[in-house]
Amino acid sequence: MRVDGRKFDELRPIKVIRNFQKFAAGSVLIEFGETKVICSATIEDKVPAFLKNSKSGWVTSEYSLLPGSTSDRTARDSTQGKISGRSQEIQRMIGRALRAVVDLKALGEKTIWLDCDVIQADGGTRTAAVTGAWLALFDALLTLDRKNKKFPITDFLAAVSVGIVNEHVLLDLDYSEDSHASVDLNLVLTGQARIVEIQGTAELEPFDFSILQEILNMAQKGIFQLVRIQQDFAGEFFHNLLTVKGFNDSVPE
């Protein structure tokens, strides 16, 4: 058993508070156990210069650890004069992950900003941010006038971490586990179980392909549960516009 009593293949308790911010087009507070991230979506009627007159939209992200989110105070990027390398890496990951499930032509010449601010960090902030950003994006797009227009989201999207700690493969690591993991991997999948991104590394010793397959199988099962939460979030709208085809047959028992 793990420190918090979970089974090896068990997610932390997931909680979503919808419409967390008054002025955002879409916003949620998403919690993966003690990790808490505010994800908000803002719509701008303009696009980056390279997309002008393209009739195509854009989805991008900003990510930050807020002061007080970690045991030692995390300084704001603005006071450092530059975005930290870690923040830059994660916000790029969030943006490209969400673009994988958005029809940018259907969006039109609009930019969706997804701001992911960690108010409490206990491991898995980037995976919580990806999963929560999809929820915020979904609600934001519901506010657009869709007369005779295709809904821009094409699929669900969620992410989870898996690691090896004390020779055990564990799903959804908290900080105490992540800081001692010999292998650390983040997986982003669509609702049809298609891979968007894999980030993985051996922190100590290299590992073989059989272990990788075990890690991916466990991650897939965890993401399946997160997608179910997104399905419930989307409600009746999901039944009309979104489908999940990949998991029922492909998730290992």
Task: List residues forming the annotated binding site for phosphate.
Answer: 86, 124-126
Phi first, then psi: give them for residue 132, nearest 5 degrees: -70, -35
Helix, strand, coil content of the chain in percent (nearest 5): 35, 30, 40
Residue ranges at the known binding site: 86, 124-126
For residue 99, give both structure tokens: 């673009």
Q: 124 with 14: CB under 8 angstroms?
A: no
198: nearest Cα among 162, 164, 169, 225: 162
Query: If DSSP codes are grouped into helix, strand and coil, which group holds residue 83?
Result: coil
Q: How far apart are CA 119 and CA 79, in angstroms?
A: 18
Q: How far apart are CA 1 and CA 11, in angstroms?
A: 13
Strand ranges (DSSP E) for the chain? Answer: 14-18, 26-32, 35-44, 58-65, 111-120, 157-165, 168-171, 183-190, 195-202
27: nearest Cα among 145, 123, 114: 114
